[in-house]
Chains A and B, each alone.
Chain A
Amino acid sequence: MAGGRRAPAICQEYKISVAQELMNAMPDPFARAPDEALLIAFANGDAEAARALTVRLLPRVLAQATRMLANTAEAEDVAQESMIRLWKQATEWRQGEALVSTWLYRVTANLCTDILRKRRGGVSLDQIAEPTDGTPSVADQMQTNTRMQALSDALAALPERQAQAVALRHLEGLSNPEIAQIMDISVRSVESLTARGKRALADIMAGRKAELGYDDD
């Protein structure tokens, strides 16, 4: 009986290695295609292009929304809505005018600030984003969640354009020219928005320093 069970295991292993070799021999046709090419392929009826585009872009969109909102459910709703808007835009996409990623950053940032605006009336208490690396203790994880929520609430208190500029600069790590393109403003305006936004954010967060686990010394 045991011998009978071993044989299929070897066969399965062989099958996997063959499949792996086949995959290596035939690279994914979508792997090197630019986002725009995939979007146009989708607009022409290629459902596989949409799948490839989703696998490539959805994690980034979800991460952006999670960082700004610190709320998994809201971030998922925003990510879904951003992607649905992308599908709707596909047939009217103007080639060479904007990068798909730039367009998505803009749509996601706008959807997030819409939610932050609504949140100003009453602070959302159900969170949370998941911390990534290592296996932090429950206390550390709670501390991180509290900080992320405090950051999101502070962003909600900023004027919308400042909140978007600060989030794109300091949470997404984008350059000022990239942010200028996303927000459709000049680089100088981006510099001004991020500087004022960061200063306002620091002032707001200063009041919660002890709560967030930062000593005053």
Chain B
Amino acid sequence: MSPSLEIIILASLVALTCALPGVFLVLRRISLMSDAISHAILLGIVVMFFITKDLSSPLLLIGATITGVLTVTVTEMLIRTQKVKKDTAIGLVFPFLFSIGVILLNKYASGIHLDADCILFGEIAFAPFDRFIFQNVDLGPIGLWLMSVVFLLNLTFIIVFYKELKLATFDPALAAALGFTPILLHYALMSLVSITAVGAFENVGSILVVALFIAPPATAYLLTNRLSVMLILSGAIGIIAAISGYWLAHFLDANIAGSMATMCGVIFFIVFIFAPEHGWLARQFFRRFKQWDFAKDILTVHLLQTELNHADQTEQIVSHMTDHMLWDHPFTIDVISRCLQDGLIVQEGEKLILTNYGREKAKISILKG
């Protein structure tokens, strides 16, 4: 495999792995927990590095994961005291842990691979240099193996506990009442987010990993009404962002992870505008459509009232409609022609008369209102 292909595959795998737990973060409205976790894990990595003196030790992963879960625990303890609000608690805990990590790094570990740039943006471009060699056989980049393990972990967890995760996310009280311990599920999920953040950390850094956790699920949310489809779409969107981000970086000669995160944002805004049902354009169109419907209702109901009151027939003249409805002339003409088209009214000279169908429709509109 060429290094660039390896980078593309690794980037796609990172995006896919983040998107899966990301769906539940977005639906549980705790997206920013991923921000907290992805920063706080630095402290775990640094502390474990001092203990083991080895950057490739698996203990680094374990320490980082523990720090991630610890961040969630401490944040939630703070929230439970009801002295600080949720967003404040998140903003208090993780910068504290992150900054301790940064100080330790500056003070005692300058000159090693863990520099500030790497923490913020990761360096996926270097991933192909770190090979997994077993009995003299090159099995590809170590990062790819690591991410594959994390991906399979996430996938297995979500498939096995799909039903429980769905219930605990939609209705935690019922989940608890039925004996499904939503707290346990919550911490299991937070552990997975931590492990995922640790795995992704080296490749995309601690800030950009947040984009991969949140943007693909938020985009998928606009495209479907089914949880299972949302999971699949999130993964697919993550992969599209990864691949297009790689080529964007290639052409701009820019940081790959940064370009991936940029593409996450671009894809979100495209979907936000053009999504078939929840998109901005669709909603505008729907509102317009509703507006015509409403206008037709107003006209037919008005004609019905006139009929019932045996009011002065001069009311049924087009120009009078304009005065009564305070609609401008072209709009009135338009509404009338739409009503004629739908067979709600007929025009006799200057008079507008309801058809039987129009009369029934008007009566239904009154009942509905």
Pairing of A with B: no
